[in-house]
Structure 1
Amino acid sequence: MVTAITDGVKVSVETIYQPEYSNPVNEHFMFAYRVEIANLSDYAVQLLRRQWFIFDSNSSRRKVEGEGVVGLQPVIQPGETHVYVSGCNLKTEMGSMKGTYLMKRDIDGSEFEVDIPEFQLVAPYKLN
């Protein structure tokens, strides 16, 4: 699990290779990732947008942006955590992701970016 803290918001990510949804012959490797967003600040925050940078080991790069996460724009109270699971497909057995969340402080409406730490997506058999 990798973790980063930005302006009182802690983001932790762990990944799982999904062989049952992958098809290596057709260059399709599926990964799930579980994200925990913990509000360590004194004020409620809302996750407005996400921006991902996805890298395959063949030098392919993608950028994905959108509102919220998995259809939600959660408000996270001080001391609370929001957890979600999503997925990513790659054309290679190895790659990585990183990104940012656009958050808003409920107390004054100010917006700020939170770093999503870079994490590796690796099919377990590549680690041998």
Structure 2
Amino acid sequence: MSSLISAGIHVTVEVFFQPEYSNALQSEFMFAYRITLENYNPFSVKLLRRSWYIFDSNGSYRQVEGEGVVGVQPVLMPGETYQYMSGCNLRSEMGKMKGSYEMENQNSQQLFSVEIPEFEMIAPSKFN
């Protein structure tokens, strides 16, 4: 599990290998991750955009950007928590991700960036 507080937002990431969606013979490895966001700020925030940097241990790298998360742009009141699940496919048994969210202070309409902590995705077979 990875965790970080950035700009008053606590971001926690848990990773789960998905063997039922993976095929080692075809170099397909699927991972799910659960992200929990908690707003420590005294104001409401809206998550507008996400930006991911995905590194595969085969040497490839890709960047993914888009609006919101899993099709929504959640608003978190002070002290409120929001959680969602998503996934990432790799061509090797190991990789890592990191990124950021663009958020908006709902009082001032000012935009700010929240860092997503780097986390590893490792297939259980690598631990043997």
For residues 43 and 106 of structure 2, the distance between their equivalents in structure 1, rounded to whole angstroms, comes to 7
How far the C-alpha of 1:127 sits from its partner, in A, is: 1.5
Map 1:55-94 → 2, pairs under 5 A: 55-94=55-94
Measured on the aligned residues, the alpha-carbon RMSD in Å equals 0.5
Q: Which residue is 2:49 aligned to?
A: 49
CA distance in 2, matches of 1:94, 1:26: 15
Q: In the alignment, which residue of structure 2 is the partner of 1:125?
A: 125
What residue identity is the alignment partner of 1:95?
G
Cross-structure match for 1:19: 19
- Structure 2 residue runs of 5 or longer lacking an equivalent are none
Per the TM alignment, residue 59 of structure 1 is displaced from its structure 2 partner at its CA by: 1.1
What's the CA shift string for 1:55-89, capped at 9, x where partnerless? 00011000000000000000000001100000000
In the TM superposition, what is the alpha-carbon distance from 1:17 to its structure 2 partner?
A: 0.2
- Deviation above 4 Å: which 4+ runs of structure 1? none
Aligned length, in residue pairs: 128
- TM-score normalised by length of structure 1: 0.99
- Matched residues in 2 for 1:116 and 1:75: separation? 17
Cα offsets for 1:75-111 (capped at 9, x unmatched): 0000011000000000000000000000000010000
User: 1:59 and 1:106 mapped to 2: Cα distance?
Assistant: 40
> Which deviations, in whole Å up to 9, do the C-alpha atoms of 1:29-57 show, x marking residues without a partner?
00000000100110000000000000000
TM-score by length of 2: 0.99
How many percent identity over aligned positions? 55
